[in-house]
Structure 1
Amino acid sequence: MVRDDVLRTLEEHRGEQISGGTLARKLGVSRTAIWKAVSSLREMGFPITSAAGGGYCLDESSDALSEAGISMNLTTRYAAQHLCVLSTVDSTNNYLKQRAADLPHGYAVVADCQTAGRGRLGRSFVSPSGSGIYISLLLRPNIPLERMHLMTVGAAIAACEAIQETAGFTPDIKWVNDVLMHGKKLCGILTEASIEAETGQLSYVIVGIGLNVRTPAGGLAPEIADIAGCLEDFAPHAVRRNALAASFFNHMESCCDLIAAGQTDALINRYRSFIHFLGQPITVIRFDKREPATAVGIDSNGHLIIEQNGQRSTLVAGEISIRLPEQTR
């Protein structure tokens, strides 16, 4: 589509003036087609300026989400190679679940806003427009069910590596998949799967993630203000959501490939590199009970090894509470 080609070119030359004639020659279309494409992009909210004799320019501060803006940063073979960008959706996970039967491996949806975002255990996930990015990725991995939980581990790794790459700082992971900086939660991850009833085999996995990029107008919702943080609270520069989404897809595909190949040691080593609470006291929360323990290590399956009263055991499920020390990395 001409519109996407124009946007991709303007993204590549963000902040620079490019004449309509140059765009027309580069893309092999008429100047009228360029004008119509730019008009359409402006209607979509892209801040594109124009000057007589100077051409078109995508404003340096633009952070509008687009398929072209994400695709130009992808290095994947399948993740997000089929991509849909929405301004508003009830839930990106719901969007894929409703269409999963007809969608290919690697299909992704990215939204600017969710009206009914969901987290783990049925919790709501606040998803305002313009301040975050909400992603779901449909995968059909050929893996045994006992490896399925590693998709959540992979999502946490991919989120951290994408933050490192695009926001310029290194967050922590609190087991299992809470991505934090200075104790503030930066994102939510929800992995859902469908199992074929007759065969007991995995039909598909949907990896959903919401990343808080910047504080929304009016501030964070009161119910999360004390626990949530945004990438730009810690980043040394503005974070571009298109680049962040693409980076997540790039790293998530890498994690999926390791899981599919059974190379779980390499995956868990990447996971451990973001875990900095080992050796510290924690509270284990299981079945509404809270018990003190010490975090000892992460085993080869990504499970948490804890110590209580001198006895070690492995947490396969549940939650932990921990006060992470202030860190500057």
Structure 2
Amino acid sequence: MVRDDVLRTLEQNRGQLVSGGTLSRELGVSRTAIWKAIAALREMGFPIESVSGEGYRLAETSDTLSEAGIVMELKTDVLARNLCVLSTVDSTNTYLKQRAAELPDGYAVIADCQTAGRGRRGRSFLSPSGSGIYISILLHPTLPLERINMITVAAAVALSEAIAETANFTPDIKWVNDVLMHGKKLCGILTEASVEAETGQLSYAIVGVGINVRTPEGGLPEEIRDIAGCLEDFAPHAVRRNSLAASFFNHMEACYRLIASGDTAALIDRYRSFIHFLGQPITVIRNGEKTPATAVAIDPSGHLVIEQDGQRSTMLAGEISIRLPGQAQ
């Protein structure tokens, strides 16, 4: 599509003027087609400036989500090669669940805003426009059910690596999948799966992530202000959402390949590299009851080994939670 080709060229020359003649020649279309594409992009919200006789440029501060802006940095073979970018959706996970039977492996949807974003344990997930990105990926894996938790591990690793690559700081992972910086939660991850009743085989899995990129207008709600943070609170520069999304897809595919190949040890090694609370005291929360423990290790299956009263046990994701020293309630 001419519109996407124009956007890709302006993205590649962000902040610099590109003449209509240059666009016309490089893309092999008429000047009229270029003008129509620019008009369409402006209607979509892209801040494209024009200087008479000199051309067009995409404003340096532009951070509008777009398929073209993501795809130009995509290095995957499967993930997000079928990509849908929405301005608003109720929930990206719900969007894919409703279409899972008809969509291919690796199909991804990304939204600027969710009206009914969901987190773990039925919690809502704040998803305002312009301040974050909300992504879900549909997978049709041929995995044993006991390895499904590795998809969540992969998402946590991929997010952490994408943040390090695009925001230039290295976050921590709090088991199982909370991505933090200085104790502030930056992202939410929700993995959902469907199992065929007759065969017991996995039908599909959907991994959804929400990333707080910058503080929304009016600030974070008071009830999460002490526990949540945004990438730009810690990044030395503005974070471009298209680059962040592409980086996440790139790293997620690499992690997913390790799971599919059975090389989960390599994935767990990458997971452990972001976990810095081992050997420290933690609080274990089970059925509302809080007990002290020491975090000992991450086992080969991605489970947390703890020690209480001299006895070691393994925590399974979803059964209990942990709280780190100094972490807000």
TM-score range, shorter chain: over 0.9
Give the corresponding residue for 1:207.
207
Aligned-residue sequence identity (percent) comes to 75
The 8 Å contact of residues 10 and 57 in structure 1, kept in 2 or not, is answered as: yes
1:272-325 residue CA offsets vs partner (Å, 9 max, x unmatched): 000000111111111222111000110000000000001111101321011369
Give the corresponding residue for 1:322.
324
Q: Could you say what secondary structure the match of 2:62 adopts?
A: coil
Q: 5 Å matches for 1:293-304?
A: 293-304=293-304
Q: Could you say what secondary structure the match of 1:101 adopts?
A: coil
Q: Could you say what secondary structure the match of 1:191 adopts?
A: strand
How far apart, CA to CA, are the structure 1 residues paired with 2:118 and 2:291?
Answer: 27
Give the corresponding residue for 2:185.
185
How far apart, CA to CA, are the structure 1 residues paired with 2:193 and 2:7?
Answer: 35
How far apart, CA to CA, are the structure 2 residues paired with 1:116 and 1:266?
Answer: 35
How far apart, CA to CA, are the structure 1 residues paired with 2:224 and 2:35?
Answer: 44
How far apart, CA to CA, are the structure 1 residues paired with 2:223 and 2:202?
Answer: 36
| 5+ long unaligned stretches in structure 2 | none
1:245-279 residue CA offsets vs partner (Å, 9 max, x unmatched): 00000011111100011101000000000000011
Letter in 2 for 1:9: T
Give the corresponding residue for 1:119.
119
Q: 5 Å matches for 1:132-147?
A: 132-147=132-147
Q: Could you say what secondary structure the match of 1:246 adopts?
A: helix
Give the corresponding residue for 1:109.
109
Give the corresponding residue for 1:53.
53
Letter in 2 for 1:321: R
How far apart, CA to CA, are the structure 1 residues paired with 2:99 and 2:312?
Answer: 44
Letter in 2 for 1:242: N
Give the corresponding residue for 1:266.
266
Q: In the TM superposition, what is the alpha-carbon distance from 1:53 to its structure 2 partner?
A: 1.1
Give the corresponding residue for 1:12.
12
Give the corresponding residue for 2:3.
3
Q: Structure 2 length as normaliser, TM-score?
A: 0.98
The 8 Å contact of residues 277 and 324 in structure 1, kept in 2 or not, is answered as: no
Q: In the TM superposition, what is the alpha-carbon distance from 1:222 to its structure 2 partner?
A: 1.5
How far apart, CA to CA, are the structure 2 residues paired with 1:324 and 1:144?
Answer: 38
Cα pair distance change 1:28/1:105, threshold 3 Å: same
Letter in 2 for 1:57: R
How far apart, CA to CA, are the structure 1 residues paired with 2:274 and 2:307?
Answer: 21
Give the corresponding residue for 1:233.
233
The 8 Å contact of residues 182 and 324 in structure 1, kept in 2 or not, is answered as: no
Q: Structure 1 length as normaliser, TM-score?
A: 0.98
Q: Could you say what secondary structure the match of 1:99 adopts?
A: coil
Give the corresponding residue for 2:176.
176
| 5+ long unaligned stretches in structure 1 | none
How far apart, CA to CA, are the structure 2 residues paired with 1:314 and 1:291?
Answer: 15
Give the corresponding residue for 2:195.
195
Q: In the TM superposition, what is the alpha-carbon distance from 1:193 to its structure 2 partner?
A: 0.5
The 8 Å contact of residues 183 and 323 in structure 1, kept in 2 or not, is answered as: no
How far apart, CA to CA, are the structure 1 residues paired with 2:99 and 2:316?
Answer: 31
The 8 Å contact of residues 88 and 111 in structure 1, kept in 2 or not, is answered as: yes
Letter in 2 for 1:36: K
Runs of 4+ in 1 over 2 A off after TM superposition: none
The 8 Å contact of residues 178 and 185 in structure 1, kept in 2 or not, is answered as: yes
Letter in 2 for 1:323: P
How far apart, CA to CA, are the structure 1 residues paired with 2:3 and 2:99?
Answer: 26
Q: Could you say what secondary structure the match of 1:151 adopts?
A: helix
The count of residues paired between Structure 1 and Structure 2 equals: 325
Cα pair distance change 1:302/1:324, threshold 3 Å: farther
Cα pair distance change 1:97/1:81, threshold 3 Å: same
Q: In the TM superposition, what is the alpha-carbon distance from 1:113 to its structure 2 partner?
A: 0.3
Q: 5 Å matches for 1:213-292?
A: 213-292=213-292
